[in-house]
A and B are shown apart, each in its own frame.
Chain A
Amino acid sequence: EIVMTQSPATLSVSPGERATLSCRASQSVSSNLAWYRQKPGQAPRLLIYGASTRATGIPARFSASGSGTEFTLTISSLQSEDFAVYYCQQYKNWPPYTFGQGTKLEIK
């Protein structure tokens, strides 16, 4: 099973500033990685697939990079709706598909 580790667990950033979230895989997943945002009380929403491609309707302030075992999600100019929990997920080796434990992005 591939273990996904996200850091930090909590990130405090002011609105309008940039946030950088990290995700590490216990073994290479190539570019088979997705990022999701989960607002309180809601289901996760797909942001990024293929490690760096924005999903339909996702604004350009979201960018992502990485391959192999190290991945980054960057949100430039944070908006109020961006303060949420973010999860990475690998879909290279399954079963099982595995998620990171999440990074909570909170208002500083």
Chain B
Amino acid sequence: QLQLQESGPGLVKPSETLSLTCTVSGGSISSSSYYWGWIRQPPGKGLEWIGNIYSSGSAYYNPSLKSRVTISVDASKNQFSLKLSSVTAADTAVYYCARQNMYGYCSGATCHTPFDHWGQGTLVTVSS
């Protein structure tokens, strides 16, 4: 059974870099069928997509965060990582990693690509 687990510091100081890792178990991050993504949720608020990465290393980011975000993949460890620089209190949120299934929900030539597996999430607080 596929599992995703976020890990990293729960407290980051303003202006510093937030770093999180998602470890995937029960499946290979190198599969060509999936993108791997980060999504965050400020306390009491909705969901915001941060970015996705493919096993090849191709990454796509939310334009609103693009200047501060880097997502990378380490296939040898079955992990992918998030770095968010120059953080402020507005970056305080629960950060989720998730799998986006690119070919598992296809009918004919049409494929639907929802986020079908999520980690439990990790709260990161930005505070001095």
Contact = CB atoms under 8 A, between A and B. Distances in A.
Interface of A: 1, 31-32, 34, 36, 42-46, 49-50, 53, 55, 87, 89, 91, 94-102
A99 B114 contact: no
Interface of B: 46-49, 51, 60-64, 96, 100, 105, 107, 110, 112-116, 118-121
A87 B105 CA distance: 19
15 contacts: A31-B112, A32-B112, A43-B96, A43-B121, A44-B118, A46-B115, A50-B110, A53-B105, A87-B47, A91-B112, A91-B114, A95-B61, A96-B49, A99-B46, A102-B47
| Interface SS majority for chain A | loop
Contacts, number: 65
Given A44-B118, A46-B114, A97 B105 contact: no
What are the 4 closest A-B residue pairs judged by CB atoms, nearest first?
Answer: A43-B118, A34-B114, A96-B62, A97-B49
